[in-house]
Amino acid sequence: MHHWTVSASLEAASIAAADFIATQVSAAIEARGICHMIVPGGNTPARCFTVLAEMSLPWDKLHCYPGDERCYEVGHAERNDVMIETNLLSRISGIHFHPMPAELGAEQGALLYRSTLELIDQFDIAFLGMGEDGHTASLFPDNEALQARSTVVAVHQSPKPPADRISMSMVTLQRARTRMVLAAGVSKAEIIAKIRTGEPLPVNRVGDIHWFVDEAAVTKSE
């Protein structure tokens, strides 16, 4: 069952999402002494990250992993880890970040990243994005990567450039203790209406999600 937090604006939704993350991080560290969190790329999470970076948390016990990465060279402006670095990692010290080696190509990069996750039985938080077609991470509708059983999957023939990517698998996302999505804007309203009616989109296959959205994103769901 999805849980919906609707805010007046992206700014307010970003703050609400950051507060939720901080609570979940603290709870994971208190329970297990460490927190493993999947983090999204794209533009929408940027403000949430800057708000989160202003909070006082035991950052040295937080390990972050991108939910997916685009197969570009290191430092390319369109890589997800560049946005994450700019808005989160560069603003705090002590945090542990584990980038996906997408510069090696989808197959080799995915193979290597699986070894990074070998000792992680379950992610504490899967903070995800969601596209206008209902994809999450780089798991697109009707793409064979959706069926992968490994922890990390090579993605080919992405409908959005670049064609090759690396992504956490659906199995990995489903196993996370907590899953959340931040989405905003009228461009997301149509797909969110479909999500709320239970259409079998990739993001709806992940499981229960804590949604943080602005009012514009749910205009077609009311």
CA distance 213 to 192: 10
pLDDT at position 222 is 56
Residue 166 token pair: 């690396």
Q: What is the pLDDT of residues 81-126, one digit of tens each?
A: 999 999 999 999 999 999 999 999 999 999 999 999 999 999 999 9
- pLDDT band per the 50, 70, 90 thresholds, residue 146: very high
Q: What is the pLDDT of residues 197-207, one digit of tens each?
A: 999 999 999 99
pTM value?
A: 0.96
Question: 180 pLDDT exceeds 60?
Answer: yes
Average pLDDT (161-179) is 98
Q: What is the pLDDT of residues 3-39, one digit of tens each?
A: 999 999 999 999 999 999 999 999 999 999 999 999 9
Q: Which domain holds residue 144?
A: 3-218
- The two beta strands, 62-66 and 125-128, are unpaired
Average pLDDT, the chain: 97
Q: How far is CA 128 from CA 6, 174, 203, in A?
A: 17, 12, 9
CATH number of 133's domain = 3.40.50.1360
Q: What is the pLDDT of residues 130-141, one digit of tens each?
A: 999 999 999 999
At 92, phi and psi to the nearest 5? Answer: -140, 160
| CA 176 distance to own-chain centroid | 11
Number of domains in the chain: 1
